[in-house]
Amino acid sequence: MATGDTLGAALNQLLRDLGTQPLRRLSTYHAKHWHAQLSQLTHTQRGYEALERAGLSVRPETLIKWLSDPEYNVRRSYRKVIHAAYESVAVVPAGPIPEAFKNGQFEIRGRVRTGDDDRDRGVLSESGRVSAPLRIDGRSGNWVEIERKWAEGELTDDAFEDDFVEYVIIEDIGEGTDGWEFPGSSYTVTI
């Protein structure tokens, strides 16, 4: 179960609660100058491997010269390779969206509107009754665009809400009277 101030925020939180990490930048990788980047890369085996994958092939003596003199005149092409290697290590890819999430039976609690039907779902009403949550079968969804945005770090709360409506809700239960809206200020999503 996850809660958010929008449906998209609750969905993003639910993914994180399942242990799925979004695309992120390591906080220790913030160097701008090629020398500082090279210095940081050469402190770890992972950094050396990134330099090799990026195509840096220089003799150890050359590498030592570069590291001993930050003002050494390194060719632009080498600086680009160092930067590419640095960025590849600094950015940690997003974990895949779990099958349990994509195949989940979602229960959405909060304000839901489709056409003239505008009501709180799955919450206690003033009359003391609890209405049914909006239930969505994730197995019916088309997750391709959502997974692409997640992997590229573009799945903002707004984008997640829009795409979840477009590719999961509509795929499962249809367009609704006049589309689906989630105008509330608090949502809880469980699978």
Quickly count: other Cβ atoms within 10 Å of residue 116's Cβ: 7
In order along its 191 residues, the chain shows pLDDT tens digits of 999 999 999 999 999 999 999 888 888 888 999 999 999 999 999 899 999 999 998 888 999 999 998 888 888 999 999 999 999 998 888 999 999 999 999 999 999 999 889 999 998 777 778 899 999 999 999 999 999 999 999 999 999 999 999 999 999 999 877 889 999 999 999 99
Q: How far apart are CA 49 and CA 44, in angstroms?
A: 9
Residue spans of the domains in the chain: they are 2-22+96-190, 24-92
Q: Is the pTM of this model over 0.85?
A: no
First to last CA, the chain: 7
| 169-176: Cβ within 8 A, 24+ apart | 169/136, 171/140, 171/141, 171/142, 172/136, 172/137, 172/138, 172/140, 172/141, 173/136, 176/114, 176/115
User: Is 4 within 8 Å of 13 (Cβ atoms)?
Assistant: yes
